[in-house]
Amino acid sequence: MKGNEEKNRQRIRVTAEELNKYAFRKRLFSALAIAGAILLALVYAVSAVYMETGSFTVNVNKYEMVKHGLSLSEYSDLSKPSSVLNAKIDQSITNIAEEDLPDNVDNIDGVHNGKNHIAYTFYLFNAGETDEINYEWQIKMSNVFNGIDEAIRLRLYIDGVPTTYAKTASDGSGPEPGTVPFYSTDIMAKGRRDNFAVGSVTKFTLVLWLEGPDPDCVDWIIGGRMRVEMSMSLVY
């Protein structure tokens, strides 16, 4: 009788130990699953671009504005002309694909950022009285951290016609698919318009995003940031 009771106590102890071990393993696996989910979320967030100083700047030389009437405005009616536009861009973005951009990205004036892209539309116009002028524009990047320029995309609409710019592939294979290579190491794009008559207007829309499918959109650019500035100047 005593032998049976002892065996029963041993079975109870073994069963309790097994239950404790099972509960421990369950808690451990749950903790690992949660940690894994957090890690996956961090990996998915891959990269963030932050426009340093909280703005994207477009400028025209003040002398050229006064002498030749070359002016900027955020509005299609060309109200509030200025030599400098500061688009307040105080946000971070995570990687997306080009096809995620909205279809109307070129149809809204001023700042119209999406959740994971930066967009800005403005107008350059000749408000002079007699001069037909030639001008050039360039978009420059600076203060680039963590190699974020490897995966950044710039789409520039000029009077509704889009061109997408990107840094050439890091493996030396040439331009990224569907893009025009950056003009130089610090100039993303550059162009010119001749015979810009009095009363003429050019509409610009700039869109910036991180191209997720780009092989260079990897973990080491997490926290990357850069500053972007566009300038206009006359060509004599």
- The structure tokens listed for 138 are 């360039």
**Domain boundaries, position 1:** 1-44
| Whether residue 95 sits in one domain with residue 191 | yes
| Whether residue 125 sits in one domain with residue 21 | no
* Beta strand ranges found along the chain (DSSP E): 49-50, 55-60, 70-73, 84-88, 92-93, 110-111, 118-126, 133-145, 152-158, 161-166, 180-181, 187-196, 201-210, 225-234
Mean pLDDT of the chain: 80
The per-residue pLDDT for range 39-86, each reduced to its tens digit, is 333 333 334 554 443 568 899 987 777 788 889 999 999 999 999 998
pLDDT for 76: 95
137 pLDDT above the threshold of 90: yes
- The predicted model gives 171-192 an average pLDDT of 94
Residue 91's closest CA among 116, 57, 58, 121?
Answer: 116
- The predicted model gives 193-203 an average pLDDT of 95
| Whether residue 52 sits in one domain with residue 40 | no
33 pLDDT above the threshold of 50: no
Residue 216 pLDDT grade (very low, low, confident, very high; cuts 50, 70, 90): confident
- The predicted model gives 217-222 an average pLDDT of 78
pLDDT for 147: 85
pLDDT for 21: 52
Q: Are 210 and 118 in contact (CB under 8 A)?
A: no
Which of 44, 60, 77 is at the close of a domain? 44
| Whether residue 103 sits in one domain with residue 6 | no
pLDDT for 112: 93
Question: Model's pTM, two decimal places?
Answer: 0.77
Segment of 7-11, 46-50, 208-212 carrying the highest mean pLDDT: 208-212
pLDDT for 41: 35
| Whether residue 89 sits in one domain with residue 23 | no
pLDDT for 90: 62
| Whether residue 196 sits in one domain with residue 150 | yes
| Whether residue 199 sits in one domain with residue 105 | yes
| Whether residue 35 sits in one domain with residue 68 | no
Q: How many domains does the chain have?
A: 2
| Whether residue 191 sits in one domain with residue 97 | yes
Based on its alpha-carbon atoms, the radius of gyration of the chain, rounded to whole angstroms, reads 28
Distance CA 76, CA 110 (A): 10
Encode 216-227: b = buried (16+ Cβ within 10 Å), e = exposed.
bbeeebeebbbb
Distance CA 98, CA 213 (A): 9
Residue 223 pLDDT grade (very low, low, confident, very high; cuts 50, 70, 90): confident
